[in-house]
Structure 1
Amino acid sequence: MQPSFRFLFALLCIVPLAVLSLPAQNGLYEVKEHAHPPHGWIQHSVPPADHTISLRIGLPQPNFNILETHLYEVSDPGHHRYGQHLSKEEVEELVAPHPESLQAVNEWLASHGIQEDEITRSPAKDWITLTIPIGMAEKMLDTKYHVWKNLKTGDDIVRTTSYSLPIGLHEHVDVIQPTTMFAQFKPFRSTIVKSNEEPSSVINDALGSITNPATGLTVDASCNQTITISCLNQLYNAVGYKQSSTSKNSIGVTGYVGEYANLADLQQFYAEQRPDARGSSFRFISVNGGLNDQSKPGFEANLDVQFALGISYPILATFYSTAGTPPFKPDVITPTNTNEPYSDWLDSVINQVDIPLTISTSYGDDEQTVPESFARRVCSGFAQLGARGVSVVFSSGDFGVGDGNPDPATQTCFTNDGNNQTKFIPVFPATCPFVTSVGATQNISPEVAVSRFFSGGGFSNYFLRPAYQKRAVPGYLDTLEHGTYQGLFNRNGRGVPDIAAQGDRFRIIVGGQPAMIGGTSAAAPALAGFIALLNEVRLRQGRPPLGFLNPFIYSIGSSGFTDILSGHNSGCGTPGFNVTKGWDPVTGLGTPNFGRLKNLV
């Protein structure tokens, strides 16, 4: 345990704790959380009382502020504790609930006949999971569940718009889900299908070369039509870097909603773009019953694995397959987990002793469809990973400032608070201040924000602007004309994205055939591959991994990124935000220059 950690924890132990009242088990109930269903969801039917549901109960983490202090200290290159990451046990001590909260929730569960052997607790005991019939959940939460249908996708889920708890229990419970959450975790990608945009059959420099005016680097002209590993190495100044791997380095890629990484496709991709990696693969880990169906290669999973691993080879790689959110089927009465899958993945990975040092995720959803209480608890999980030395990378979304409708002209962008106000729609988990969010660029001379789809970006309505953005973001806001988009975004919110990378016309292999794909879901794994290489630089010098990246990125690391100066991110019937000099909510601080960054780290 680090000296300052011991001091803070000892100090905490001697400070008198507030006396917490235990709930009267038969006391009055009061609404704990209420939500309006998002646009496009309609109440459809009533689920059978014996349909089972897996409830997750989040208990308060009274010492999270201390964990956050540690996170920023060990992630700040200007702090004397930089790189002194916490252990799994130290993090668990800091997120553990107060014993009185444990007692209060235990008594409440026992009053409904739920025994200890019927529940599962997280290692820190801050989460409790139990699988019970809908009828019992309705009694415990003084609510009524319904089957809700999404008019756009046809998906059915079991949700309620309000739940209650005994008054005395409110202070001992942060959140219970699935209750009011209507989110639909989805990949951020846009697949090219036009015949005139078929992938090139030959990858070479036959078209000559182009010089990027911003960096002076020479790049194959063919990279304007097709992005390969070679293109990214050239564009981001990684040509000639001799890669190796220490036994301590690692990279992870997450897969959700039935996206499976295909081994045969990976080998074909390696043969074409990374011949020295042929024969290598990834470690597969199933989360919550996630499958490894090699008969169903996924565009998203293949994209993420092929580029993240292709750039970072030979660094040890892991692919996580997390079971998604299955639709409600009234004729099959089996336990059904309808939580957002990233929370299941977080539960699993936080419980591991050895976690990949860089993790890329190319999925997310509209922030407003995730209840704020749940978003904050999930975000605290990412903080735990950062405190342990893990760099967590998320794509920023593909629909500009809009609501997920790919046609900016028809986006509605209404709030879900019952007021139907028009507002920009930020994306979660990219808005979590403890992850690094990645926007997308295209072209070589010059490199600009993507134009065929729009790099997600904007400002969180849940999370305030973190300290590491206190200089960069206000500078952008000062460039906006007075009154521009007044009321459409939160000027005090966490700005997204942090950085960017190429995100269009990536050549991948799917089902044995080449394909072209684009989206911020391409930018995130590509960027993660370079972050893994930067960790390799540090580890080979006997230094700890980078961990939570943002304090570095917004300080000494900012000179390692190339500013993008052109583009915008349309949405909600507007042109969205413009790309400007310095940080902007389209491309962040810009794209990486690996040659500079490896000297800075």
Structure 2
Amino acid sequence: MLSLLALAALAFASPLPRAGYTFKESLPSAPNGWEQLSRAPGSHLLKLKIGLIQPRFGELEQALWEVSLPGSERYGMHLGKEEVEKLIRPHDESLELVDAWLVENGIPLSALSRSPAQDWITLTLPVSLAEELLDTEYHVFHHTTSGDYLVRTLGYSLPTHLHAHIDVVQPSTTFARLQPKRSSLHGDSIVLSSEAAIPPVPASCNHTITPACLKEIYNVGNYTASSTSGNILGIAGYLEQWANMNDTNWFYQVYLPQAAEQGYMFTVELINNGTNSQNESDAGGEANLDVQYAGGLSFPIPNIYYSTGGSPPYIPDDNTPQDTNEPYAEFLAYVLAKPDSELPRQLSTSYGDDEQSVPYSYAVRVCNEFAQLGARGVSVMFSSGDGGVGDGLGPNDQAYGPTTCYTNDGRNASSFLPAFPASCPYVTTVGGTYHEGPEWAVPFSGGGFSKYFSRPSYQSPTVDTYLAQHPQYLSLYQGLFNPSGRAYPDVSAQSNNFTLNRGGMWVLEAGTSASCPTFTGIVALVNDYLIAHGKPTLGFLNPWLYAVGHNAFNDITIGNNPGCLTNGFNATAGWDPVTGWGSPDFGKITSLLSLGS
């Protein structure tokens, strides 16, 4: 990937940096789907975030492996907030040099805000000053499909002596469009009925999914969790997706009466000017799906819905809004600042984008933030995506339109499209299944191999074995995927025809947006079991999962994940890049953990 960045820098059509500056990051052109319009108004405000180098991140990563790997002397001994912040704090020299640079450009230190570890600096400044600071030009870009607008640059420079001290400056070259992972193959939600016609729990879960179905399929039995153990399940929400409490209460009345009787309900925390409207017409299909199924499985464990603002990023006829379309950074800054006692033990996120739409430096930085959460004992789950290995189009689907599976590096070469943050090695990525007895891989289940992140040690033997046993993919898809990259998903769960209440109506939803809160709900129950038995919670799951945990999962061997006009990969015995290790069996997991594994 670094070679691609170097090529991009060479191709960046801009005057050479001014004296003392050199290119930090650049793109050869606007990514696919974006068109460059006019220069950005000089008065437009940017909320600029400067990420300073974290010189001891390698030590943090080593600690993450040690507290997450069964058999390690430190297994389960998660780090505290202060320990993590000490390991990611920049050198004093970095702080001094960056401060001096900002002051030299007329920015007083009093205008800055800093993260607790001082590894992020945030400041709000007009485009005109940002252009001078970064020796660049910002333009308005238009996304032709969605109609979104962004203020971005195709490249920026820094004083040469600061390259060793600054990781990333954003918003600059990030064109990611954070999207819910709800399957587009199914179109809009299917409306089942009004409130007057309440659907019963179906006799078969092959057609309609409810919490009772999931508890049956995943062997939860009559397990009852505690509401007072300190265990918290977190749900990340973005893009003004609002979780409606009235809808959720109605859902509980039908499918979890005990929760409704006890007044069980998620709480809400607002981040970066986030909102959570309770108007029925504003109820979000994604948000309601997340809270109703995370709560439906984890009851009575407290659930928190984090609503992070940051959309829309820019309105062309308004020259003064603040450009804050960096929701991951805002959310992570908020959560990482929490005391250890207030952190969720498990976190579900059903959003993501194509990996290539996120600049490499920014993707790495965000991924490293998830490593901090893992080191502090948080199990971080992400949906794997709903386009199979790319756009969800199989070899016979040309009639649905041209494939979008092309690189963004100026070559416009055919390529599978891994998803981010699903491709981050410090998160547990959840693919999709459907049917039961047995489960199949759902065709839209996102999966594949990262182009940004190399394969982590915890999964190398497993994935190497998979590729050795299926060498046909190396020749059939040569050049379309990176066989040495981080492979995903890690696990999977049901993701099709979920019954939920939205705006007072019963609807069906599909996507790995459903499988992620489902799996997270199961993890919450497992952590509850561990707490009740005086054991530490699982924290970062993957080292345990690949070492021993997979023995308690249901292997999925039927199905594939087409995309980019190919059949994608096949589900097969053992791990595969469609369903990972398969779906969880709560009873087997708790039995395994009771034996100390």
Is the structural similarity TM-score above 0.5? yes
CA distance in 1, matches of 2:446, 2:127: 37
Name the counterpart of 2:460.
Answer: 470
Deviates more, 1:73-82 or 1:331-340: 331-340
1:389 aligns with 2:386: no
Say if 1:177 and 1:339, in contact at 8 Å, map to a contact too: no
**1:353-408 alpha-carbon deviations (Å, 9 max, x no partner):** 12111100000000000001000000110000000000000000000111477996
Name the counterpart of 2:302.
Answer: 316
Name the counterpart of 1:125.
Answer: 118
**1:38-58 alpha-carbon deviations (Å, 9 max, x no partner):** 111001112211111111100
**1:206-265 alpha-carbon deviations (Å, 9 max, x no partner):** xxxxxxxxxxxxxx42x1110000000111111222333333111010110010100000
CA distance in 1, matches of 2:496, 2:51: 39
Say if 1:436 and 1:497, in contact at 8 Å, map to a contact too: yes
Match of 1:261 among 225, 228, 243: 243
Name the counterpart of 1:161.
Answer: 154
CA distance in 2, matches of 1:46, 1:457: 38
Match of 1:56 among 32, 49, 70: 49
1:305 aligns with 2:291: yes
Amino acid at match of 1:397: G
Say if 1:131 and 1:335, in contact at 8 Å, map to a contact too: no
Name the counterpart of 1:596.
Answer: 588
The residue correspondences of 1:301-380 to structure 2 (distance < 5 A) are: 301-353=287-339, 354-380=342-368
Amino acid at match of 1:438: V
Amino acid at match of 1:229: P
CA 1:241–1:157 in 2, change beyond 3 Å: closer, same or farther? same
Say if 2:448 and 2:488, in contact at 8 Å, map to a contact too: yes
Q: In the comparison of the two structures, how many residue pairs are matched?
A: 560
CA distance in 2, matches of 1:549, 1:58: 27
Name the counterpart of 1:70.
Answer: 63
CA distance in 1, matches of 2:190, 2:344: 39
Name the counterpart of 1:548.
Answer: 540
Name the SS for the 1:558 alignment partner. helix
CA distance in 1, matches of 2:447, 2:459: 15
Name the counterpart of 2:489.
Answer: 497
CA distance in 1, matches of 2:434, 2:147: 34
TM-score, normalised by the number of residues in structure 1? 0.90
1:233 aligns with 2:226: no
- Offset at residue 531 of structure 1 (A): 0.1
Say if 1:185 and 1:364, in contact at 8 Å, map to a contact too: yes
CA distance in 2, matches of 1:408, 1:363: 25
- Offset at residue 298 of structure 1 (A): 0.3
Unmatched segments (≥5 aa) in structure 2: 1-17
Name the counterpart of 2:34.
Answer: 41
- Offset at residue 194 of structure 1 (A): 8.2
Name the counterpart of 1:449.
Answer: 441
Match of 2:97 among 90, 99, 104: 104
- Offset at residue 193 of structure 1 (A): 6.2
Say if 2:311 and 2:324, in contact at 8 Å, map to a contact too: yes
Name the SS for the 1:584 alignment partner. coil
**1:521-575 alpha-carbon deviations (Å, 9 max, x no partner):** 0000000000000000000111111100001111111111011001111111111
CA 1:302–1:195 in 2, change beyond 3 Å: closer, same or farther? closer
Name the counterpart of 1:4.
Answer: none
The residue correspondences of 1:286-305 to structure 2 (distance < 5 A) are: 286-295=270-279, 296-305=282-291
CA 1:307–1:196 in 2, change beyond 3 Å: closer, same or farther? closer
CA distance in 2, matches of 1:204, 1:113: 64
Say if 1:277 and 1:314, in contact at 8 Å, map to a contact too: yes
1:424 aligns with 2:412: no
Match of 1:480 among 471, 482, 499: 471
CA distance in 2, matches of 1:445, 1:194: 28
Amino acid at match of 1:162: G
Name the SS for the 1:131 alignment partner. strand
The residue correspondences of 1:159-308 to structure 2 (distance < 5 A) are: 159-190=152-183, 198=192, 201-204=198-201, 220-221=203-204, 223-278=205-260, 279-295=263-279, 296-308=282-294
Name the SS for the 1:521 alignment partner. helix
Say if 1:142 and 1:165, in contact at 8 Å, map to a contact too: yes
- Offset at residue 198 of structure 1 (A): 3.6
CA distance in 2, matches of 1:318, 1:165: 40
- Offset at residue 204 of structure 1 (A): 3.8
Say if 2:191 and 2:507, in contact at 8 Å, map to a contact too: no
Say if 1:562 and 1:590, in contact at 8 Å, map to a contact too: yes
Match of 1:79 among 72, 78, 88: 72
Name the counterpart of 2:82.
Answer: 89
Match of 1:400 among 378, 388, 392: 388
CA distance in 1, matches of 2:310, 2:467: 38
CA distance in 2, matches of 1:246, 1:82: 25
The residue correspondences of 1:572-591 to structure 2 (distance < 5 A) are: 572-591=564-583
CA distance in 1, matches of 2:397, 2:302: 40
- Offset at residue 324 of structure 1 (A): 2.6
Q: What is the percent sequence identity of the aligned residues?
A: 51
Unmatched segments (≥5 aa) in structure 1: 1-25, 206-219
CA distance in 2, matches of 1:508, 1:340: 29
Match of 1:561 among 536, 550, 553: 553
- Offset at residue 27 of structure 1 (A): 5.0
Structure 1 runs (4+) deviating above 3 angstroms are: 191-202, 403-409
Name the SS for the 2:415 alignment partner. coil
- Offset at residue 335 of structure 1 (A): 4.5
CA distance in 2, matches of 1:550, 1:181: 28
**1:286-329 alpha-carbon deviations (Å, 9 max, x no partner):** 00010011111100000000000110010011110000332322
CA distance in 2, matches of 1:469, 1:524: 20
CA 1:381–1:539 in 2, change beyond 3 Å: closer, same or farther? same
Amino acid at match of 2:270: S
Q: CA RMSD of the aligned region, Å?
A: 1.8
